Amino acid sequence: MIRMRNVGKRFGEFNALKNVSLDIFAGEVVVLLGPSGSGKSTLIRCINHLEDYDSGDVFVGDIRVERGRNLLAVRQQTGMVFQSFNLFPNLSVLDNVALGPVRVKKQSWDGARTRARELLHRVGIADQAEKYPAQLSGGQQQRVGIARALAMEPRILLFDEPTSALDPEMVGEVLDVIKRLAHGGVTMILVTHEMGFARQVADRIVFMEAGEIREIADPQTFFSSTTNERARAFLDAVL
Ligand code: ADP
Ligand code: MG
């Protein structure tokens, strides 16, 4: 579903990604771990072209992600959920979810709102549909963010620290929604600092450091017996 080959990305003289190669298969849940600044967000952002990469190749399905080409298709196929929710404050919760399909997929408002209600139900906040984002808790806002990403019917969901901006008591409700999607077969790449959650949902752990992928392992192996020195040091620091 996603194919990255020898991807490089610089910011000036700084190498944010070095020779990154990674394949994501349909139905897989891949969790990206690594210290702050290791390139996790940059990797995700190169997939949906929020960042332009400098070298190598990124494919979403059959589409090569390229500046000025295919980007609408790439964005439709890759739903992004941000740390900071990024909801439209002047639209109702329902219309935040319906807007993308209306604008991009040219659906009718009626049709898009009907579908949006189903999605709000799926993330457990059907009763909040008529409110505005500011009237919701952080956890509820992030669930709107997830429903909005799903509304575009992407092939893959990209989560960049979806619970990092939340008060602790709201983390669980958002992780539960993501867990349900994961078990329902949604393909996803997830950056998170929630190690217990990572261990539960991941099919594979990808460990990054200094712009490179240092290890790819199943969660059992990674958490209990990684022999990678840097991964071990990271786990010792966070667990
Ligand atoms: P992570 O998500 O793992 O914390 P990032 O991918 O955000 O790491 O960043 C990797 C490195 O690239 C960091 O050192 C960061 O400072 C740098 N970086 C990220 N975005 C930019 C940018 N727009 N301009 C300059 N440097 C950046
Ligand atoms: Mg980041």
**Complex confidence, ipTM:** 0.98
pLDDT band at 90 (very low <50, low <70, confident <90, very high): very high
Q: Nearest-5° angle of CA 132, CA 75, CA 89?
A: 15
Q: What are phi and psi of 143, to 5 degrees?
A: -70, -35
Q: What is the pLDDT of residues 127-141, one digit of tens each?
A: 999 999 999 999 999
Which residue's CA is the nearest one to ligand 1's atom 23? 11
Any ligand 1 atom below 6 A from CB of 96: no
Taking the C-alpha atoms of residue 1 and residue 167, their distance in angstroms, rounded to an integer, is: 33
**Whether residue 110 has pLDDT greater than 90:** yes
pTM score over 0.90:
yes
Which residue's CA is the nearest one to ligand 1's atom 12? 16
Ligand 1, residue 42: give the atom nearest the CA. Answer: 6
Any ligand 1 atom below 6 A from CB of 32: no
Whether the CA torsion 176, 174, 177, 158 is positive or negative: it is negative
The C-alpha torsion from 236 through 21 and 25 to 202, rounded to 10°, is 10
Any ligand 1 atom below 6 A from CB of 92: no
pLDDT band at 175 (very low <50, low <70, confident <90, very high): very high
Q: What is the mean pLDDT of the chain?
A: 96
**Whether residue 68 has pLDDT greater than 90:** no
Distances (CA, A) of 191 to 34, 68, 93, 162, 201: 9, 27, 25, 8, 12
**Whether residue 69 has pLDDT greater than 90:** no
Q: What are phi and psi of 158, to 5 degrees?
A: -110, 120
Q: Identify the pLDDT of residue 166.
A: 96
